Structure 1
Amino acid sequence: MEELARLAGITVRTLRFYRERKLIPPPRREGRIAWYDDDHLARLRTIAALLERGHTLTGIAELAEALDHGRDVADLLGVEPTEEEPVRLTPEELAARFEGQVTTENLAAALDLGYLGTDGGEIVHISRRLLDVSSALVREGIPLAEVLEAGAHVREHADALAEMFAELVLRHGPEEDLHRLRPLARSVVEAELSLALDRRLGQSTTERKSER
Structure 2
Amino acid sequence: MPKTPPPIPPSPDAPSVPASATPRNEYTVDELARVSDTTVRNVRAYQDRGLLEPPEKRGRVGVYDDTHVSRLKLINHLLTRGYTLANIQDLIMAVDEGHDLRSILGLETAIGSRWSRERPKKYSLLELLQMFGDKASPSALGKAVDLGLLERDGLSFVSGSPTALAAGATMAKEGIPLADLLDAVGIARPHFNAVAKALVDLVVRQLDRYDADALPPPADVPALVDAIWRVRPLAMVLVESEMNRALEEASGDYLGDRVAAIMEKKLGHAPEGAAAERAAAKKDKSRK
TM-score normalised over the length of structure 2? 0.42
Query: Residue in 1 aligned with 2:37?
Result: 75
Please give the root-mean-square deviation of Cα atoms over the aligned residues, in Å.
3.1
Q: Cα distance 1:204–1:120, how it changes in 2: closer, same or farther (>3 A)?
A: closer
Q: Cα distance 1:153–1:83, how it changes in 2: closer, same or farther (>3 A)?
A: farther
Total equivalences in the alignment: 142
Aligned to 1:123, what secondary structure does the other structure show? Answer: strand
Shift of 1:195: 1.3
The one-letter code sitting in structure 2 at the alignment partner of 1:200 is A
The higher radius of gyration belongs to: 2
Structure 2 residue 205 is matched with structure 1 residue 171: yes
Shift of 1:209: 4.4
The equivalent position to 1:196 in structure 2, one of 234, 246, 269, is: 246
TM-score normalised over the length of structure 1? 0.56
The one-letter code sitting in structure 1 at the alignment partner of 2:248 is D
Query: Residue in 2 aligned with 1:113?
Result: 147
Query: Residue in 2 aligned with 1:95?
Result: 129
Is residue 145–residue 152 contact of structure 2 (8 Å, CA) maintained in 1? no
Q: Cα distance 1:118–1:75, how it changes in 2: closer, same or farther (>3 A)?
A: farther
Aligned to 1:115, what secondary structure does the other structure show? Answer: coil
Shift of 1:154: 2.2
Unaligned runs of 5+ in 2: 1-32, 40-72, 74-112, 208-220, 264-288
Q: Which one scores higher on RCO, CA 8 angstroms, separation ≥ 6?
A: 2
Is residue 138–residue 144 contact of structure 1 (8 Å, CA) maintained in 2? yes
The one-letter code sitting in structure 1 at the alignment partner of 2:183 is E
Shift of 1:204: 3.1
The equivalent position to 2:182 in structure 1, one of 139, 144, 148, is: 148
Is residue 73–residue 118 contact of structure 1 (8 Å, CA) maintained in 2? no
Aligned to 2:135, what secondary structure does the other structure show? Answer: coil
Is residue 135–residue 178 contact of structure 2 (8 Å, CA) maintained in 1? yes
Unaligned runs of 5+ in 1: 1-70
2 CA distance for matches of 1:74 and 1:105?
Answer: 27
Aligned to 2:151, what secondary structure does the other structure show? Answer: strand
Is residue 122–residue 158 contact of structure 2 (8 Å, CA) maintained in 1? yes
